Amino acid sequence: SVGRSDRLVSPTQAMVWGLGRIVEVEYPQRWGGLVDLPETIDSRAMDRLAGVLAGAEAENQVAIRGSGVFAKRLVRASAPESTTGDGWRPAGSVLVTGGTGALGGHVARWLARTGAEHLVLTSRRGMAAEGAVELKAELEALGARVTVAACDAADRAALAALLEGIPAQSPLSAVVHTAGVLDDGVIDALTVERAAGVLRPKVDAVRNLHELTAGMDLSAFVLFSSAAGTIGGPGQGSYAAGNAYLDALAAQRRADGLPATSIAWGAWAGSGLVIDGDLDEYMNSSGVALMNPELAISALQRVLDLDETYALVIDAAWERFGGEQSGARPTPLLTELVQRRQPNASSEPADPAPGEQAAAELRAELEGLSPAKRQRSLRKLVRQHVAAVLGHATPDAIENDQSFRELGFDSLTAVQLRNRLSAITGLELPTTLAFDYPNLTVVAEHLETNMFPEADEAALKDPEEDRIREALAAIPLARFREAGLMDALLELAQISESGSELEPQEELNSAVDAMDVDDLVQRALGGADL
């Protein structure tokens, strides 16, 4: 929908948009964009479609309507400092799906504190779920009556029976759907079974909740969606599709005069919709911070007080996040959030985007180096990003010839490495980069070839350095020890003799790569010519 008069027709079709945003991140070389066509296709609509496909609009998420072509943008929410009245408050019975999980527990506590008389918490295991007994006791201590039921909301008959059993003296007044399942994997790894496992608790369950409560007098119908459905992210194809359905269903319900609010959440600290602690460092490095659950609940209250249909709630550094998501390509969706100076008729051209500026600075820095030093700089760069993707505290343990598969790369981390290197180099790199170029040495060579295609291949070989390498490799380490140079050499290479079983060639190669060869020769051999 592009406005109040443009009614959303098919929430199911919105799933294509959710999946499409993941394709954009995982396969930028194959990506064209997303186009939503009007129900009636006439010659004017076809002309506009042709213009979009020809790139006239320079957009990749558009809706074509009789009144024009609409481009999608994410913008900061603007709202009054205070709302009229007391805002939204729960009453009667409130149903919380996934109610015994991490998210459901936070929601249930908030509902109990703000006046819910009766909480109906569902999960697949009911009271047998971990922590359910303690949560029930905690909520009752806050003054709420609590029913914990083993009910899969995707099972229509079971959900209908549960709703039928809600007492008439406390009729159902609100629904909060927090249930969901994560099963990350790139699109190539998706199967029907894996997709169904994610879509069932999202799409099937919400469709049942929507249809079975349509005739009830609800004050709120709250759907816990995800940022993945709005802005994408590698490895979340089916999850993004399911959450895009939730966002679209909320819009359709509003058009039909029914209450609905879909909140696309970023990462919560803890577990559930939440990111496990091991990924905290990676999330921060990619520009997304984990949200304190209490602050997230405050945002939930605020969105309901304002009676919004949709909101994205996320703690993001947009410049860094945009680069992580899109690699070398710009992301029109985020342009309103990324701080850039816009040109006008009399001004100088706009400053480059952060990603473009970083790529230009890197290229300028490398251009001034010899081919050998350029290669070492690129190896260092790749090593740093490999360490960041894999969550290593330092890049020191990653060796030049160590295969990415051996290091633990899978299809998802391969996409993340590609996106990082695309952003810093400005190159459109293949999704399979980590598998086509299986260690950091060959990746560095690939980057140099593409960043400096005009370079003379013969110049990439440094005869003098090769001569020095060969000479160093030919000198037995015993000679260094006898000459009293071993300590200096190992100190320069940052290699400890204790417990070292490296072969001489490996030890020297590591030393040579860790520093400038000329410096190594001059300091370790006292300036003697080889």
pLDDT, tens digit, for every residue of 437-468? 888 889 999 999 998 887 655 454 555 555 65
H helix intervals, 256-309: 280-285, 293-305
Report the pLDDT value the prediction gives residue 112, as an integer from 0 to 100.
97
Report the pLDDT value the prediction gives residue 500, as an integer from 0 to 100.
44
Report the pLDDT value the prediction gives residue 505, as an integer from 0 to 100.
45
> What DSSP line would sit under 125-192, residue for residue?
SGGGSTTHHHHHHHHHHTT-EEEEEE--TTSHHHHHHHHHTS-TTS-EEEEEE-------B-GGG--H
Report the pLDDT value the prediction gives residue 174, as an integer from 0 to 100.
97
Report the pLDDT value the prediction gives residue 242, as an integer from 0 to 100.
96
Question: Do 119 and 139 touch, CB atoms closer than 8 A?
Answer: yes
Torsion of CA 295, 99, 213, 111, to 10 degrees: -40
Q: How far is Cα 495 from Cα 512, in angstroms, rounded to an integer?
A: 12
Q: How far is Cα 339 from Cα 152, in angstroms, rounded to an integer?
A: 44
Residue in 17, 10, 63, 65 with CA at minimum distance from that of residue 40: 65
Task: For residue 303, give every residue at least 6 positions away whose Cβ sits within 8 Å of its Cβ, in sequence order, or none.
Answer: 261, 263, 311, 313
Report the pLDDT value the prediction gives residue 135, as an integer from 0 to 100.
96
Question: Do 233 and 3 touch, CB atoms closer than 8 A?
Answer: no
Report the pLDDT value the prediction gives residue 498, as an integer from 0 to 100.
42
Question: Do 98 and 179 touch, CB atoms closer than 8 A?
Answer: yes
Report the pLDDT value the prediction gives residue 55, as an integer from 0 to 100.
81
At the topology level, CATH places domain 93-326 in: Rossmann fold (3.40.50)
Residues of the chain with pLDDT under 50: 274-282, 341-354, 458, 460, 495-530
Q: How far is Cα 27 from Cα 415, in angstroms, rounded to an integer?
A: 9
Report CA 39 to chain centroid distance, whole Å.
33
Torsion of CA 493, 498, 501, 505, to 10 degrees: 20
- Residue 415 CB-density burial (10 A; 0-12 exposed, 13-18 middle, 19+ buried): buried
- Residue 520 CB-density burial (10 A; 0-12 exposed, 13-18 middle, 19+ buried): buried
Domain ranges of the chain: 93-326, 354-459, 463-524
Q: How far is Cα 118 from Cα 147, in angstroms, rounded to an integer?
A: 8
Residue in 136, 145, 84 with CA at minimum distance from that of residue 115: 145
pTM of the model: 0.74
Instruction: Specify the CATH class of 354-459 in words.
Output: mainly alpha
Question: Do 24 and 237 touch, CB atoms closer than 8 A?
Answer: no
Report the pLDDT value the prediction gives residue 406, as an integer from 0 to 100.
85
